[in-house]
Structure 1
Amino acid sequence: MALAPNHSTDMLIRKLDSIARLSDDERQAIERLPITVRPLVSGQDIVHEHDRSLQCCLLLDGWACRYQLLSEGKRQIFSFHIPGDIPDLQSLHLQVMDHSLCTLTPATVAFIPHAALRDLTAALPGIAATLWRDTLVDAAVFREWMTGMGRRSACEAIAHLFCELYVKLEAVGLAENHRYRLPVTQAELGDALGLSNVHVNRVLKELRDNKLITLHGGGLDILDWAKLSKLCGFDPTYLHLERQAA
């Protein structure tokens, strides 16, 4: 493990700036955070359910997910996370983790001590408000996922997730021209949306056959954004971004 150079906070600044414009002083304060960086392998737990954390993790590279295992071994994925996310930000105020967090790909993760984050938010209320806004957006995403699993068809739910991921990635400069890296397996899509592998496979085939998407080499191309977003009724308002895909 090694202390990270200042550029390790670039993704965090980019993420926070996508939901609330940061001042120069706020950017500089974030750059001064004491951060320890670790490379992690795919499928490695970052935080376990019932852990009592003293630090938050910032995803610098790679993808991660929040999840919980049921008694019979089934997994429910609650959210996918991309570079710039702090998936366990709630541990700053909630002493015990009520779910686990793991990598979906090889990843680079920065760990920020809770004490440093508390000092930062106390000194700069604007950053505290931005982090609070981020948690509110997180809650809005949960509501959309609940709606998707409860009321959308399987095709609509997967299409909606693909649209959501594009908008989030595009906002931090990790997607463009309705194309992005999608290192999520069919099994992981099923674990996130409560669908079987067979059902996910059938929906993906339907979306491809209708020339709405193509999947290749771990990437997704949205061939017709207007039709795909109309199919699932995607409205990016709940992401509360400064700039949105079109």
Structure 2
Amino acid sequence: MNFRSNSSIGVCYTCPNRHFRFCKSLLNGSSNEFDAYAVKNLVFTAKQVLYHQGDMNQELFVLREGWVMLTRISEDGKRQVFRSVLPGDILGFQQYLHGPAIYSAIALVDSVVCRIPNIVKLCSTQPEIALSLASAAACDMMLTERYLTQITHRSAREKIAFMILELYHRLRLQRLNRGYSIHFPLKQEDIADTLGLTTIHVNRTLHALKDEGLLAIHKHELTILDYAALCTLVGSEFEMLATN
């Protein structure tokens, strides 16, 4: 893993994610074994790989700021985008914490990742942290299942509408939206590899949604122009997105 460590960025007590999910459980835990000042901030530049699929995975990370994309390469050499990791999300948590990474992680923009020390020991002595990790894993699994539903049963319009709303709601939860606008560093091929579409199909569908006045994309900023219309496309899935 190539990175630049920067201990001056701040500690857990000043982190904007400290009130959310796993970070909150770390700071509010009953154990004195977690040392917030031992957390290391690792700085990655845009397009830099945090770790590769198959690398031995021995640490747990939380994305402090930025945007990271998780990808896998299949046996036939095709790339699949697993999901986007947004601020407050966990990286590196998998079935075998000390086994090879099941996906690669790449920073789409300049990003800061927090390395959490002694996570196995913390989980063994502090049930609330273990429960928080299990909850985060369940949320990730539920999101993955929803994407699988989109890939197998929905049209291209419905798939892209779902992805846009899903990302918008996650960013809004972290107060990283500007009204109905969000930073959107994903390329069309990233969208295609996430949703099981071709890049040409994504391009045509995005143009259609723009022409119909549903959204606009300009210089890595996506703006939802007709929120209700996108919600109609997503249907019942939207209700689950809006309540999580």
Bucket of the pairwise TM-score, normalised by the shorter protein: 0.7 to 0.9
**Number of matched pairs:** 237
Query: Superposition pairs for residues 39-78 of structure 1, below 5 Å?
Result: 39-78=43-82
**How far apart are the structure 2 equivalents of 1:184 and 1:53?**
26
Shift in CA distance, 148/27, structure 1 to aligned 2, threshold 3 Å: farther
Q: Name the structure 2 match of 1:10.
A: 15
Provide the residue aligned with 2:224 in structure 1.
Answer: 222
1:64–1:81 contact (8 Å) kept in structure 2: yes
Q: 1:229: Cα distance to partner?
A: 1.0
| Alpha-carbon distance change, 31 to 5 in structure 1, aligned in 2, over 3 angstroms | farther
The runs of at least 4 consecutive aligned structure 1 residues that moved more than 6 Å come to: 27-31
Point out where structure 2 has 5 or more consecutive residues left out of the alignment: none
1:12-39 per-position Cα deviation (integer Å, ceiling 9, x unaligned): 4243179xx7597339977726222222
* Map of 1:244 onto structure 2: none
The runs of 5 or more residues in structure 1 that have no matched partner are 242-246
What corresponds to 1:99 in structure 2?
103
Match of 1:196 in 2: 198
Name the CA distance, whole Å, in 1 between partners of 2:130 and 2:22.
13
Change (3 A) 1:239 1:229: closer
Greater share of helix residues, 1 or 2? Answer: 1
CA distance in 2, matches of 1:83, 1:27: 25
After superposition, the CA RMSD in angstroms is 2.8
- Specify the code of the residue in structure 1 equivalent to 2:71: Y
Counterpart in the other structure of 1:212: 214
- 2:129 match: 127
Corresponding residue SS for 2:135? helix
TM-score between the two structures when normalised by the length of structure 2: 0.85
The answer to whether the 8 A contact 1:62-1:107 is kept is yes
Q: Percent identity?
A: 27
1:6 is matched by which residue type in structure 2? V
Q: Is the 8 A contact 1:53 1:91 kept in 2?
A: no
Quick one: distance in 1 between partners of 2:214 and 2:75?
38
Work out whether residues 58 and 98 of structure 2, in 8 Å CA contact, stay in contact via their aligned partners in 1.
no
Report the alpha carbon displacement of residue 238 of structure 1 after superposing the two structures with TM: 5.9
User: Relative contact order: is structure 1 or structure 2 higher (C-alpha 8 Å, sep ≥ 6)?
Assistant: 1
